[in-house]
Amino acid sequence: MGEELPIHFKGISKSFGDKAVLDGVDLEVEDGECFFVIGASGVGKSVLIKHLIGLLRPDAGEIWLDGQEVSRLSEKALYPVRMKCAMVFQSSTLFDSMTCLENVALPLRKHKSLSASAAREAALARLDQVHMREFASAFPAELGDGMRKRVAIAR
């Protein structure tokens, strides 16, 4: 039960040395649900999310994504899994020398092999989704923290 859910963590545990960061974590995300991971500094939020995209491997437990157990996949097998996920880091990961539009279009060209014009249109649509289209030609340094995070989400 639960393997058919879009996201399902079953008994995930992770330690670094003798410090247990995750201890038997269970998480189920239903289709269409949106979730946020919040909490005090150092409680394991980033560790939990890094498990979902395969940047960390659990010491125990299983991670299911769209009906596939992903916690033991090879790097090569993880690539299509990672294409379904996004992670916005606390500090901006945008390229300061590129406009917001260029930042969003870059992975579309690299990972989806879109032409420049198709990537531009797709990037504008993504900026629309986060209400940032009017800032397409702005550089990240010209934006506030919240606006940069929205561009990172669009990316």
pLDDT band for position 130 (50/70/90)?
A: very high
Give 3-state DSSP helix, strand, coil % of the chain, rounded to 5: 40, 20, 45
Euclidean distance between the first and the last CA atom of the chain, given in angstroms as a whole number: 33
pLDDT band for position 73 (50/70/90)?
A: confident
Segments forming the whole domain that contains residue 25: 7-73
pLDDT at 3: 57
The pTM (predicted TM-score) of the whole model is 0.61
Q: What angle do CA 1, 8, 48 make, to 5 degrees?
A: 155
Q: Which tokens go with 135?
A: 């800032």
Residue 1, in any domain of the structure: no
pLDDT at 1: 46
59: Cβ–Cβ under 8 A, 6 or more apart, which residues? 13, 14, 15
CATH number at residue 53: 3.40.50.300
Whether residues 15 and 66 share a domain: the answer is yes
Cα within 13 Å of Cα(54), Cβ side:
20
Query: How many distinct structural domains can be found in the chain?
Result: 2
Residue 12, in any domain of the structure: yes
The DSSP-derived string for 101-151 is HHHHHHHHHHHH---HHHHHHHHHHHHHHTT-GGGTTS-GGGS-HHHHHHH
pLDDT digits (tens, 9 = 90+) for 79-122: 888 777 766 766 668 999 999 999 999 989 888 888 999 999 99
Whether residues 66 and 109 share a domain: the answer is no
Tokens 């991670």 belong to residue: 63
The DSSP-derived string for 81-95 is HHTT-----SS--S-
Residue 130, in any domain of the structure: yes
Q: Which tokens go with 152?
A: 């990172």
Residue 58, in any domain of the structure: yes
**pLDDT, average across residues 14-33:** 92
Whether residues 104 and 68 share a domain: the answer is no
pLDDT at 35: 78
% of the chain with per-residue pLDDT over 90:
52
* Better-predicted residue by pLDDT, 133 or 32: 133
**pLDDT, average across residues 119-130:** 96
Residue 95, in any domain of the structure: no
